[in-house]
Structure 1
Amino acid sequence: MPAIPASHDAPPVLPADAPIRPGWLRAMHWLNALAVVVMVTSGWRIYNASPLFDFVFPKGITLGGWLGGALQWHFAGMWLLFFNGILYLAMNLATGRLWRKFFPLSARGMAADLGAALRGRLSHADPRRYNQVQRAAYLFVMADIAVLVLSGLVLWKSVQFDLLRELMGGYEAARRVHFIAMALLTAFVAVHLAMVALVPRSLVAMIRGK
């Protein structure tokens, strides 16, 4: 049976020679990827110094070597993620890309695209368009990163961000929020990489633009 086009909204009208991924987006994507790798792997080392649960991460997949070193790497990744994320959001708003790429979004459209994907019938013929599952996933990860940053601020400056700390239920609750947000981000990255493996042209577009 033929593949089902992703969602049912009309594709954006763009010049034929326009890049699939503009240069600013590609640069920010790879900077975000670097920041996430640094933050997650150094975060695992920080977690190991005071585990929340009955397990620790293997030292070989952590960054920093010791707690002090891991904290330095973590802060470096945090500032890169923060400023790059702010610029990414600003560029998406300024260019209209946020609305063009991630909306409209509906439960019915998501269910239809998810069902087609599970049956192997979701078309990826037009890489300029995100299906509704992709839209939801990208919007989710934006929100997840925001939670990660906010909970991280509580862990970093608990006294200064006392209101935020209380909204999260206290310092220990903020640690759990931060850990869960990190786990969800890691899961997103794993699924994202799996999708790239299935549709390798998306990686080419993120490197070359077309």
Structure 2
Amino acid sequence: MTTSRRRLVHRWPVRLTHWLNALAMPCMFMSGWAIYNASPLFPFTFPAWATLGGWLGGAIAWHLAVFWLLLANGLIYLLYGLFSGHFRRDFLPLSPRAIGRDFAAAVRLRLGHHLGTYNAVQRLLYWGVLVLGVLVVLSGLAIWKPVQLQGLAALLGGFDTARYVHFFAMAGIGAFVVVHLALVILVPRTLPPMITGRAHEEVNDESA
């Protein structure tokens, strides 16, 4: 007989850091777009309604305030991921063969999804966004304090190059967020476990 039980899918530190990111990232993007508009890197700007801060000084104040929140949140997640085994348990193993196999299945819309288990493409994306997170922090610090942190700025190719690194790293994170939201819309049953931590699972009761 098949019965249903509630299984732990996401532990509370993962859920807490996830929702803090979800609240803070829009502020980070919108204040960043306002800062970008003051000195555009490319021949376009973001519409005023999509920015935060009202003026350059206000945007910088918002950006720095949210930055410290995200930095603390990111450090908590990294430490938890390393010492709890979350990274090893959920993001590994990862191989080119597995990535190719799961990517091909995803393109054909035949990639299965099991709550609490990440496929190879998801694991690659999570590792990628972690790297982008580190890169966006380092480049942001180099832009903020190019004189005091001139060694870091030089490592990134100088102040001007660091701005491009920061822009493209943030764009990569933005793309990850868009894909993440699209997957939630396509597979809405993944959302409740990120709130409650648990999901219903069908199991065979052999004793019945």
Query: TM-score normalized by structure 1?
Result: 0.90
Deviation at 1:205, TM superposition (A): 1.1
Deviation at 1:140, TM superposition (A): 0.3
Q: Name the residue aligned to 1:137.
A: 125
Q: Structure 1 counterpart of 2:32, which letter? A: G
Moved more, 18-27 or 74-83: 18-27
Larger RCO (CA under 8 A, 6+ residues apart): 2
Within 5 A, what are the aligned runs for 1:1-210? 18-124=7-113, 126-210=114-198
Identity %: 52
Separation in 2, partners of 1:154, 1:93: 26
Q: Structure 2 counterpart of 1:61, which letter? A: A
Runs of 4+ in 1 over 4 A off after TM superposition: none
Deviation at 1:102, TM superposition (A): 0.4
Q: Secondary structure at the residue paired with 2:129?
A: helix
Q: Secondary structure at the residue paired with 2:88?
A: helix
Separation in 1, partners of 2:62, 2:15: 23
Separation in 1, partners of 2:14, 2:156: 32
Deviation at 1:133, TM superposition (A): 0.2
Q: Structure 1 counterpart of 2:91, which letter? A: F
Q: Secondary structure at the residue paired with 2:127?
A: helix
**Unpaired segments of 5 or more residues in structure 1?**
1-15
Name the count of aligned residue pairs. 194
Separation in 2, partners of 1:73, 1:19: 36
RMSD: 1.1
Deviation at 1:77, TM superposition (A): 1.3
Deviation at 1:203, TM superposition (A): 1.1
**Unpaired segments of 5 or more residues in structure 2?**
199-208
Deviation at 1:17, TM superposition (A): 5.2
Q: Name the residue aligned to 1:11.
A: none
Deviation at 1:204, TM superposition (A): 1.2
Separation in 1, partners of 2:157, 2:195: 42
Greater CA radius of gyration, 1 or 2?
2
Query: TM-score normalized by structure 2?
Result: 0.90
Bigger strand share = 2
